[in-house]
Structure 1
Amino acid sequence: MTRPGATAWLSLACALAMGAACCGKAWAQPAVVDDSLDPPQAGKALRDRDFGVGTRGFGLDRRVEMYQWRADRDAYTRVWNTAAIDSSHFAPGHANPKKLPLDNRRWWSDDATLEGKPIDLAVLQTLGQWRVFRPNFSRLPANLAASFQPEGDGLGSAENPLDPQIGDIRITWRELSLPPLEGKVELRGDRWVLSPEAAAQALSAERASTVVELPPGTDQRLLPWLLGAAAMLLVAALVWRRVRRRRG
């Protein structure tokens, strides 16, 4: 049987939770920003000097993949991977190179502006959108031109791209663009920074993308029940704590 005091506190906790949600929506209004902002400017070109690849975007990303063996239960498969796969415990005949011959690298614009004011790096990293582009390889150094050839949107080291061998490399590049920034940034001092709402949305998206890992053998269908039970226990603990404080 539930005590009247506990029932009252449970009702109060529910009401407070609903009120907090409503207040959160009321306070999480976007910063007031002029809706006639000029498009942001990326500044000077970014360049991957190793390959002579450049872009006028807000960021440049070099993605390096190596063809390697990967252990898959009782079998081995060959995959493209952006990091070296440790094969020290693999069966004979399945050795991978110990490291990639080239690093994955990323460059950010350090002089991007909006309305003549600098844009904070966090804006680029949070709101920027990456897209693959095919560079002009006319400035590819001679030593790399001897090792790589155009393959898809990038470069590859395989003699036959349809039949790559272990240790072959392929490289692609991406450039960063920015969406319209109205309502997503605010001018703080002399620098454009993320608005509170944009920062909160980015944090919510990051949390939503977090995968909950269960112990091996756990039925995935139990996940909603486990999460629900955990939430109920948390609410019950908070209510009981408040009841004890009031009695004390």
Structure 2
Amino acid sequence: MRFLRAAFALSLCGALVVGTAAVAPGEARAYAGDEPIGTPQSGKRLRDRDFGVATQQFGLDRQVQMYQWRASGDGYTPVWNAAPIDSRGFPPERQNPPKLPIESERWWATEATLDGHPIDVSVLQALGQWRVFRPNFSRLPANLAASFQPEGDGLGSAENPLEPRVGDLRILWRELQLPPLEGKIELRDGRWRLSSSVAQAALNAANASNAVELPADQDRALLPWLLGGATVVVIVGLIWRRVRRRRETFLRRD
């Protein structure tokens, strides 16, 4: 159910944001002087100093998982999990480490700017898109290089990645990229912040997702339809905005 709620909130938020921008030309003109025209700049590089990983994007995310025992039916199954699994009550041979020796962590580009004005962190958090990337591990400290080896797009501590042992770790990094911000932010008090319509749409979507109740077996079945519907609304909204702007430009020339 949580999976469906999150998907529904995302779909509704996208639909409301673009729909509001498309049907409210008066509001769009009101902020025409404060529309972003340049390219966002992230500021100084973000660094995970523990592993020597860095990015020039707007956020850096370290995701750590540990191989652990989890109760499954009448037995126990080893799984990768981002949080410690409480093994109190498990048999002695199925005990997990009490905590992850390395924690997940996240860094934000607090010095990001656009057209010479700072971008509020709330914009990054609400509109940014996380992408997994493979770092350059040339700066990996010697003590960690002795414990970790490249595994997929990240690092792993298992001697044999195909046969991990309970307590082994694997680590991935993601960087935050910004989509086009036109129509989604506005300049207030010298800072770029979420536009009123976007903030309200996100709030409405969150409230709507809490009110929707569907049978559990319909969660994933309905997800493609929800996302597809939001995509159609977004495309139609963008086309309408482009047509309206061309029309306004033509009328001003006359």
Residue by residue over 1:83-115, the C-alpha shift from the partner in whole angstroms, topping out at 9 and shown as x without a partner, is 100001113311000000001100001110010
Q: Which residue of 2 aligns with 1:231?
A: none
1:211–1:48: structure 2 CA closer, same or farther, 3 Å change rule? farther
- The corresponding residue for 2:202 is 202
Q: Which amino acid aligns with 1:48?
A: D
Q: Is 1:74 aligned with 2:46?
A: no
- Aligned ranges for residues 134-173 of structure 1 at < 5 Å? 134-173=134-173
TM-score, reference length from structure 2? 0.70
What residue number does 2:39 align with? Answer: 39
The residue type equivalent to 2:56 in the other structure is R
- Matched residue type, 1:90: F
The within-5 A match list for 1:1-248 is 29=27, 32-33=31-32, 37-207=37-207, 210=210
CA contact (8 A) 1:112 1:119 kept: yes
Change (3 A) 1:184 1:79: same
How far apart are 1:213 and its partner, in Å? 8.2
Q: Deviations over 1:31-79 (max 9, x none)?
A: 6346661111101000000000000000000000000001123221111
Identity, % of aligned pairs?
65
Separation of aligned partners in 2, 1:203 and 1:179: 20
Q: How many pairs does the alignment contain?
A: 196
Cα distance in 1 between the residues matched to 2:101 and 2:121: 29
Q: Residues 36, 186 of structure 1: CA spacing in aligned structure 2 closer, same or farther, 3 A cutoff?
A: closer
SS in 2 for 1:161: coil
Query: How many angstroms apart in 1 are the aligned matches of 2:97 and 2:131?
Result: 29
SS of aligned partner of 2:172? strand
Unpaired runs of at least 5, structure 1 = 1-24, 222-248
The letter for the 2-side match of 1:64 is V
Q: Which structure 2 residue ranges, 5 or more long, are not aligned?
A: 1-22, 218-254
Deviations 1:12-45 (A, max 9, x none): xxxxxxxxxxxxx769955634666111110100
For residues 167-224 of structure 1, what are the alpha-carbon distances to aligned partners after superposition, in whole Å with 9 as ceiling and x for unaligned? 000000000011111100000021110001111232344445559789xxxx758xxx
Contact 1:61 1:174 in 2 (8 A): yes
Structure 1 residues 209 and 138, CA, compared in 2 at 3 Å: closer, same or farther? farther
Instruction: Identify the structure with bigger relative contact order (alpha carbons < 8 Å, sequence gap 6+).
Output: 2
Return the letter of the residue paired with 1:39.
T
- Could you tell me whether the CA contact under 8 Å between 1:131 and 1:174 is conserved in 2? yes
Coordinate RMSD, CA, aligned: 2.8
Q: Is the 8 A contact 2:60 2:176 kept in 1?
A: yes
Q: Whose Rg is larger? A: 1
| CA distance, structure 1, for counterparts of residue 151 and residue 216 of structure 2 | 40
CA distance 1:29–1:55, change in 2 (3 Å) = same
